[in-house]
Structure 1
Amino acid sequence: MNRITKIMVMVVTTMTLGYISGQVTQTSVDTWYPTLNKPSFTPPNEAFPIAWGALYIMMGIAAGLVWSCIEMQREEARKGLTFFAIQLALNMLWSYLFFGLKNPMLALIEIVLLWLMIYETWFLFRKVNKIAGWLFIPYILWVTYALALNASIWYLNR
Structure 2
Amino acid sequence: MTGGAPPAGDRPRTLDIAPGTRRMRADVGPLIRTLRPGLTADAFDRFAAEAHAQGLVFTAAYAADGGCVAVATHRTLATSRGRILLVEDLVTDTARRSTGIGAHLYDVLVERARAAGCAAVELDSGVTNHAAHRFYHARRMRVAAFHFRLDDLR
Is the shorter-chain TM-score for this pair beyond 0.5, marking a shared fold? no
TM-score (norm: length of structure 2): 0.32
More strand by share: 2
Of structures 1 and 2, the one scoring higher in RCO (CA 8 A, sep 6+) is 1
More helix by share: 1
